[in-house]
Amino acid sequence: MIIRSFIALSALLLLPQIGWAQPEVDFSNYDGPLYAQIVNRIKAKVSARLGEGRNPHDRYFIIPFAYQNRINDPEYSHSFISVIRVFADNKEAKLTPGLKTRTYKNRQFEAFTISWLPRDFTRHPHLCVFDGPGSRVNPALNKCPVLPGRNFNLEETIKLATHDNLTVAMWGPYEIAKPGFDLGVRRKKLLDGGTIKYRADDRLYRKDKIAINCFHAMAGLDQLFPNGGLFGTGFNMWGFNGTARVLIEYKEKANYKGLLLEPVDVKNDRYGFVYASKRNGSVDYHPMKEASAYHR
């Protein structure tokens, strides 16, 4: 009896190591590029929300994202968000300046992404976050430079994730009210204006509107530089933690009431896209309940 119990306990302890306890991964779209998988999922989810009937007024949605590696290195982590406006059916719409109009299933929509990174990040994808002894605690000791920033689109951002085989998390789509969409448009215009620079550790720079990181670029859309995390600095707010913190802010802050039109569960609403080197093979990192596999 003792031997059987020991064998059973040993098997349970080994489950995570041999992969039996790992959640299932969907390989049905494995041969498609990750960007296409993500866009198709967004389109399907938004279309289901709109339904087959007539859409009498504009509808607005946000899709928060993050990517990171297994140990959540800040150098390999990023938070970003896409915003969508679906036009009402059979009504002439006033288009948003600077946004392209697209069509899906005979419905027109606008979309943009807030993904704030160094301008030359595609050529030099090595993020400087903390440089110098004690820089994580004391921002004055951080030697990382302040860099020109750029707001990347969704396709560019996903390519950065696939370059290092990172795990991508997606929340939503969540429906929002028009003022929420307008806040997002204003934030995009601010970032595109070229006055704000990029720095991953922005503790000494965001107050004077010099530089911000990806988390603060998408958080607090009515307050340019909100605080959050340890010591109110945003410290450790990167990757999945960063985007989850933004969603909590959207959900709980009084000045956001009425902008987010549905409940949010930051853990259970999360869907993953995980790297696998071969079809039906093991995946590098799968911390979510549901995920699809990608390899390019």
* Interval 114-172: pLDDT, tens: 999 999 998 887 889 999 999 988 999 999 999 999 999 999 999 999 999 999 999 99
Predicted pLDDT of residue 16:
41
Predicted pLDDT of residue 14:
41
* Interval 110-123: pLDDT, tens: 999 999 999 999 88
Residue spans per domain, the chain: 20-294
- Render the chain in DSSP notation, one character per residue: -HHHHHHHHHHHHHHHHHTTTSPPEE-TTTTS-HHHHHHHHHHHHHHHHH-SS---S-EEEEEEEEEE-TT--GGG-EEEEEEEEEPPTTS---PPTT--EEEETTEEEEEEEE-EEETTTTT--------STTTTT-GGG--PPPEEEEE--HHHHHHHHHHTT-EEEE---EEE-HHHHHHHHHHHHHHHTT--EE-SS-TTTTTTTSEE-HHHHHS-TTSSS---SBTTTTBT--HHHHHHHHHHHHHH-GGGTTTB-S---TTTT-EEEEEBSSTT--BS---SSSEEEE--
The share of the chain scoring above pLDDT 90, in percent, equals: 58
